[in-house]
Amino acid sequence: MQPPRRYGPGRGFRVLVVDDEKPLAAVVARNLLHDGYEVESAFDGPTALQRAHELDPDVVILDLGLPGLDGLEVCRGLREFSDCYIVILTARAEVPDTVAGLRAGADDYVTKPFSPRELVERVRALLRRPRQVAKEARPPAPPQVFGPLTVDASAREVHLDGDRIALTRTEFEVLEALTGQAGQVMTRRQIIDAVWGESWVGDEQLVDVHVAHLRRKLDDPATNPRFIQTVRGVGYRLDVEPTSARGR
């Protein structure tokens, strides 16, 4: 494979492309290389996990139909040691398969057939927040405290009752979007715009799956929520008023 180019929006980011269709993987890799990403490829499940351990990628583009270990198993395996963004590729257009991938820990999905440039745009959208923070060099904001929950946007850390809670990048960004509008209802579309970008097109159930992940990790059941309230037919609301951690 040719060496990555040293310019473009992808400079400094590493992507692992996992697909057993080698011609398709090559096309995706070529488009990513053109944008400056460092790209590696794997063509089966076990190799994908091995390469992810070695490379520590920022993004994994993951086909669901893989030999050795299927994509869902690889996704679960990745989540045991990595908070990388995971974009699943699937020829299965049915909603249950997509939801299964998201529940396994994926951040986004693209259904086959797809435009390679569209996929690159999805990768850009996932990485845009870290890139903006570095570029703008904003001063660190103080942590926000919501009762027993502390959200530190600068450190990208969450603590509950003093214990650090391990969130994926997308889970953190969904929570950050809600904390930024504490006390106000956010529609699913507003959450998508904040986390995935205004150009994102797909099933808004994506939000529900990530909120369910957050609730499980924050010990915040939908039947008796402490933090995230469901507003039926509309979206979600963080129902605890924030206070500055510095004032505690």
CA distances from 18 to 33, 83, 139, 196 (A): 15, 17, 37, 22
Q: Which of 136, 160, 187 is the last residue of a domain?
A: 136
Is there a single domain that holds both residue 122 and residue 53?
Answer: yes
CA pair distance 234, 224, nearest whole angstrom: 19
The verdict on residue 7 lying in a domain is no
Q: Which amino acid is at 137?
A: A
Under 8 Å between Cβ of 85 and 108 = yes
Q: Domain limits at 54?
A: 14-136
The verdict on residue 36 lying in a domain is yes
Q: What is the CATH number of the domain that holds 84?
A: 3.40.50.2300
pLDDT score of 20: 94
DSSP β-bridge partners for residue 228: 238
* SS3 of the chain: helix, strand, coil, percent, to 5: 40, 20, 40
CA distances from 163 to 115, 148, 157, 166, 182 (A): 43, 10, 10, 10, 22
Is there a single domain that holds both residue 148 and residue 92?
Answer: no
At 125, the pLDDT band (50, 70, 90 cuts) reads confident
Residues whose CB falls within 8 Å of the CB of residue 230, separated by 6 or more in sequence, listed in order: 222, 236
Under 8 Å between Cβ of 227 and 239 = yes
The verdict on residue 9 lying in a domain is no
Is there a single domain that holds both residue 119 and residue 155?
Answer: no
* pLDDT higher than threshold 70 for residue 248: no
For 51-143, strand residue ranges (E) read 59-63, 85-90, 108-111
Q: What mean pLDDT comes out for the span 158-183? A: 93
Is there a single domain that holds both residue 195 and residue 83?
Answer: no
Is there a single domain that holds both residue 131 and residue 148?
Answer: no
At 136, the pLDDT band (50, 70, 90 cuts) reads very low
Lowest-confidence range among 139-143, 155-159, 233-237? Answer: 139-143
Counting the structural domains of the chain, the total is: 2
The verdict on residue 3 lying in a domain is no
Is there a single domain that holds both residue 19 and residue 129?
Answer: yes
Is there a single domain that holds both residue 148 and residue 74?
Answer: no
Is there a single domain that holds both residue 157 and residue 225?
Answer: yes
The verdict on residue 43 lying in a domain is yes
Q: What is the CATH number of the domain that holds 237?
A: 1.10.10.10
pLDDT score of 95: 64
- Mean pLDDT rounded to a whole number for the chain: 86
Q: What is the pLDDT of residues 32-62, one digit of tens each?
A: 999 999 999 999 999 999 999 999 999 999 9
pLDDT score of 129: 59
Q: Which of 136, 154, 175 is the last residue of a domain?
A: 136
User: Cα 125 to the chain's mean position, in Å?
Assistant: 10
Q: What are phi and psi of 140, to 5 degrees?
A: -65, 135
Q: Name the one residue in this structure whose structure tokens are 């008023």.
A: 241
* pLDDT higher than threshold 70 for residue 146: yes
Secondary structure (DSSP) of 120-185? HHHHHHHHHHHHHHHHHTPPPPPPEEETTEEEETTTTEEEETTEEE---HHHHHHHHHHHHTTTSE
pLDDT score of 90: 80
Q: Tell me whether the omega of the peptide bond preceding residue 148 falls within 30 degrees of 0, making it cis.
A: no
pLDDT score of 139: 63
The verdict on residue 234 lying in a domain is yes
Q: Which of 87, 120, 136 is the last residue of a domain?
A: 136
Is there a single domain that holds both residue 23 and residue 101?
Answer: yes
The verdict on residue 4 lying in a domain is no
Is there a single domain that holds both residue 111 and residue 20?
Answer: yes
Q: What is the pLDDT of residues 60-97, one digit of tens each?
A: 999 988 999 999 999 999 999 998 999 998 876 566 77
Is there a single domain that holds both residue 115 and residue 162?
Answer: no
pTM exceeds 0.85 for this model:
no
